[in-house]
Amino acid sequence: MSMNRHIRDTVVKFVDLRGLTQKELAEKTGLSQPAISRLLVGSRKGDPETWQRIFDALSLELTITPKEGERSQDPAWKQLEGLLDDPVFVTTEPGEIDRILGEAQEREHLEALAGKR
pLDDT tens-digit profile of 39-88?
Answer: 999 888 888 889 999 999 998 888 776 666 665 666 666 666 666 555 44
- Give 2's pLDDT tier (boundaries 50, 70, 90): confident
Cα 29 to Cα 6, 60, 94: the distances in Å are 20, 13, 25
Q: Which DSSP category does 94 fall into?
A: T
108 or 14: which leads in pLDDT: 14
Could you tell me the pTM of the whole model? 0.58
- Taking a C-beta distance cutoff of 8 angstroms, is the pair 80, 48 a contact? no
